[in-house]
């Protein structure tokens, strides 16, 4: 058995305008098979990936926002969202999709996956990682 490493996926791009957000999500889901300690960070325009009410019918692209709700099933339940990035974009937690997971160590209680953190806290979270993958 190899030891578990801390992986952070750093998301800094808005969805749909470029392919980065969707690519990141797919790599996260594939990488979840390796059972590492995975966290996701949403910084800068990356916070736009999590807005609620996305409807892509008018632009002819696949709406992949429902897939973020499956992350809990994949044991990916630490989604750090930077407070300053939200505020600079006129957003608050209320503008984001509610994302939850079931905590197996706490009688499958439903808990929030999104954690809003300050820029200073985000810097610390980055510092604690073994591997950071940027999108």
Residues that bind other proteins (CB under 8 A): 13-18, 26, 29-30, 32-33, 44-45, 48, 51-59, 61-67, 69-70, 73-74, 88-90, 95
Of 62 and 105, which CB lies nearer to other proteins in the complex structure?
Answer: 62
What's the token pair of residue 32?
Answer: 């979840």
Of 42 and 48, which CB lies nearer to other proteins in the complex structure?
Answer: 48
User: What's CA 94's distance to the chain center, in Å?
Assistant: 16
Closest separation in Å from C-beta 7 to other proteins = 15
Name 51's Cβ contacts closer than 8 Å, sequence gap at least 6: 65, 91, 95, 96, 97
Closest separation in Å from C-beta 101 to other proteins = 12
Give yes or no for a contact between 12 and 46, defined as CB atoms under 8 angstroms apart: yes
């Amino acid at each position: 058995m190899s030891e578990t490493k801390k992986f952070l996926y750093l998301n800094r791009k808005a969805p749909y305008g470029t392919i980065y957000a969707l690519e990141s999500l797919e790599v996260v889901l594939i990488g979840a098979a390796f059972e590492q300690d995975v966290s996701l960070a949403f910084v800068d325009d990356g916070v736009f990936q999590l807005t609620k009410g996305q409807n892509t019918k008018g632009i002819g692209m696949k709406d992949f926002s429902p897939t973020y709700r499956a992350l809990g099933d994949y044991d990916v339940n630490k989604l750090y969202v930077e407070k300053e990035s939200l505020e600079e974009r006129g957003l608050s937690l209320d503008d984001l999709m509610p994302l939850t997971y079931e905590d197996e160590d706490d009688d499958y209680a439903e808990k929030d996956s999104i954690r809003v953190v300050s820029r200073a806290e985000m810097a610390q979270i980055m510092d604690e990682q073994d591997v950071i993958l940027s999108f």
